[in-house]
A and B are shown apart, each in its own frame.
Chain A
Amino acid sequence: MAQIAMAAGFILILVGFYGALTNRNILRMIVAFTVADTGVNIVMVAVGYMRGRTAPILDETVPVADALSRIIDPVPQALVLTAIVIGMGITALMLAFAYRFYEKKRTLDITKCTELKW
């Protein structure tokens, strides 16, 4: 199951990159990047998954004493939480830059931002 999720995550990353690298519209690029980000998150969570265990939350069903044998690895989840928020921050930032770009050029074509080169 983890492998399936992981494979799906990798595919999302590749699909996202493909979209981000071939679409000329900036908004579409950003959309594609969010897809890739989701893929990364899925891969990360899948790495921490362990078959037949439950979420790392101690309650009546998972008493403290059993935690060692009942819960999955909590670390990747903690990391993904951070990664999601950072990803959202960068997306917001890119959107703001896109707005500024459109404001100046009245286009969202990424190939039009090549004044700086060589």
Chain B
Amino acid sequence: MIRKFAAILLLAGIASIFMGLLFTYEPDAELNTTARYYAERTAADIGATNIVTAIVVTYRGLDTLGEVTVLFLTAAIVGLVLAHGRRRTSDKRRLAPVGELLATGSRFLAPLIILLGVYVFANGHLTPGGGFQGGAIIASGVLLILLADPCRCLSHRVIDTVESVSGLFYVGIAILGIVLAGGFLDSHLLPRGELGALFSAGAIPLIYALIGLKVGAEFSSILAHLSETEEL
């Protein structure tokens, strides 16, 4: 009870701070310095039509690299946390196999879902969506496989390899940016291409594809780790 009271009291204090923000907030009438630069220069400099993608992959690429690392780290730690209590596979209770319909359906659907994911990240520089969304969609494909066939042990080896190789390529491209272009993560490694084309915007599609693969692998890895836990 005291805790609830204290929480309410303190949150009231926080609320008053938030109100200070809310009531003095005035939307910008014009784009500010940073946004103006992006609006004016992205198409010409980077060659991506989706400005958010250009920011995420190139201008603020270091954030994204960090973000990918967050997922990588999370997957690794989830593995560590759960590895502790996991028993050997032989002890695993065999679950009743799911219905034929579901198994077949998922076998049919999963590749399509994964394909959709690939589509989303491949077009990230043109349309909404990109590596993260695509990665999440790929992971949901993997999820489907896991749900349809709980006994199937997803190969960690494959997931880890995809994750590591795409990560290494990502870092490699980033460093190539220092050597060949204007700096770390500069997407001008590859030609800018024609605005709006699939193969345009320099290295962005490549990087976003790598991000998509990596994120997909990381989400899948988290899911696979969780799916291998014992029921308590």
Contacts and interface: CB of A to CB of B under 8 A. Distances in A.
Contact of A13 (B18, B34, B52, B55): B18
A22 B7 contact: yes
B38 interface: yes
Contact of B67 (A73, A75, A86, A97): A86
Contact of B18 (A10, A89, A97): A10
Given A14-B18, A51-B27, A89-B70, A82 B64 contact: yes
B78 A96 contact: yes
Interface in A54-107: 55-59, 64, 67-68, 71, 73-75, 77-79, 81-82, 84-86, 88-90, 92-93, 95-97, 99-100, 102-103, 106
Contacts of B22: 3, 6-7, 10
A18 B73 CA distance: 29
Contacts of B21: 10
Interface stretch (B79-87, B111-119, B167-175, B177-185): B79-87
Nearest to A2: B27
A14 B214 CA distance: 34
Contacts, number: 143
Interface in B198-216: 215
B7 A93 contact: no
Contacts of B73: 89
Contacts of B25: 2-3, 6, 47
A74 B82 contact: no
Interface residues of A, number: 48
A21 to B, nearest CB: 4
Contact of A81 (B56, B71, B82, B226): B56
A65 to B, nearest CB: 9
Contacts of B98: none
B159 to A, nearest CB: 15
B93 interface: no
Contact of B4 (A22, A47, A78, A97): A22
Given A68-B39, A74-B51, A96-B81, A18 B8 contact: yes
Contact of A50 (B7, B28, B226): B28
A58 B64 contact: no
Nearest to A55: B128
29 contacts: A2-B25, A3-B22, A6-B25, A10-B18, A21-B3, A21-B7, A21-B11, A22-B3, A22-B4, A50-B31, A58-B195, A64-B195, A68-B39, A71-B51, A74-B39, A74-B51, A74-B55, A75-B38, A78-B56, A78-B59, A85-B132, A86-B70, A89-B74, A92-B78, A93-B74, A97-B81, A99-B82, A100-B81, A100-B84
Interface of A: 2-3, 6-7, 10, 13-14, 17-18, 21-22, 47, 49-51, 55-59, 64, 67-68, 71, 73-75, 77-79, 81-82, 84-86, 88-90, 92-93, 95-97, 99-100, 102-103, 106
For the complex of A and B, the 4 pairs showing the least CB-CB separation, nearest first, are: A89-B74, A56-B51, A78-B55, A73-B35
